[in-house]
């Protein structure tokens, strides 16, 4: 249970591997905010059109209407200046300016709830997630179940050999794996980690 402050804004980050229930948890929190008669606005990157072009949809097919944006500038333009709660799904696909943006919203008194992968398919920090984790008041790291051995899983293993960092996929492209099974999947984990990631982030990078 989150002890929520009053009359101030804050940032919540929901992270973990694929199939850990991040979007489902995001939806749960945003629904509760709506039940409390708070105004809620939800965003997602337009490149994530796996289940729906606009709604955020969990792997278990729970959904909420959202605004699909191509980049952070579009998000700013679509933002209601009077909204109480802002939700962003798949936040790892935005460039690092999203860190300052979330802080700006929180400093302005809004509750900001974001969800995303904290590691990419190589087990490396994903985009702006490290920065978001460092400034968030609340962090929830979810685990999945290893699809190889059944142990708790915290990494997303890519089944294809596509080297680009951003590859939106489903169970046909990824498996959740524990540390051991993830490492065994790559003959040399160090080699996998050093693969060039052709970043296809939605904006040129901002700060580091």
DSSP-assigned beta bridge partners for residue 61: none
Is 19 known to sit in a ligand binding site?
A: yes
The structure tokens 């999203």 sit at: 98
User: Can you list the positions of beta strands (E) in 91-170?
Assistant: 111-117, 138-141, 144-145, 152-153, 155-158
The structure tokens 């052709």 sit at: 198
Is 15 known to sit in a ligand binding site?
A: no
CB-based burial, 109-142: b 16+ in 10 Å, e otherwise: ebbbbbbbbbbbbbbeebbbbebbbeebbeebeb
Is 183 known to sit in a ligand binding site?
A: no
Catalytic residues: 90
CB-CB contact of 207 with 100 (8 Å): yes
Is 162 known to sit in a ligand binding site?
A: no
Is 54 known to sit in a ligand binding site?
A: no
Is 22 known to sit in a ligand binding site?
A: yes
Is 81 known to sit in a ligand binding site?
A: no
Is 92 known to sit in a ligand binding site?
A: yes
Judged on CB neighbours under 10 Å (0-12, 13-18, 19+), 4 is exposed
Is 18 known to sit in a ligand binding site?
A: yes
| Binding site residue list for substrate | 166-169, 174
| Binding site residue list | 16-23, 89-92, 146, 149, 166-169, 174, 178, 181
| Binding site residue list for ATP | 16-23, 89-92
């Amino acid at each position: 249970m989150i002890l929520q402050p009053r009359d101030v804004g804050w940032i919540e980050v929901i992270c973990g591997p694929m199939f850990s229930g991040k979007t489902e948890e995001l939806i749960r929190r945003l629904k509760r905010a709506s039940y409390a008669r708070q105004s809620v606005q939800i965003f997602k990157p337009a490149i994530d059109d796996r289940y729906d072009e606009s709604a955020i949809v969990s792997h278990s097919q729970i959904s909420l209407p959202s605004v699909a944006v191509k980049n952070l500038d579009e998000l700013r333009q679509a933002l209601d200046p009077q909204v109480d709660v802002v939700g962003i799904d798949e936040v790892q696909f935005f460039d690092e300016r999203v860190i300052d943006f979330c802080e700006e919203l929180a400093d302005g008194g809004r509750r900001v709830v974001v969800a995303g992968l904290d590691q990419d398919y190589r087990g490396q920090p994903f985009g702006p997630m490290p920065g978001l984790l460092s400034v968030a008041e609340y962090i929830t790291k979810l685990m999945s179940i290893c699809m190889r051995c059944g142990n708790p899983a915290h990494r997303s293993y890519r089944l294809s050999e596509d080297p680009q960092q951003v590859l939106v996929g489903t169970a046909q492209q990824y498996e959740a794996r524990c540390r051991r099974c993830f490492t065994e999947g790559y003959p040399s984990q160090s080699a996998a980690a050093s693969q060039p990631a052709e970043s296809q982030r939605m904006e040129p990078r901002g700060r580091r």
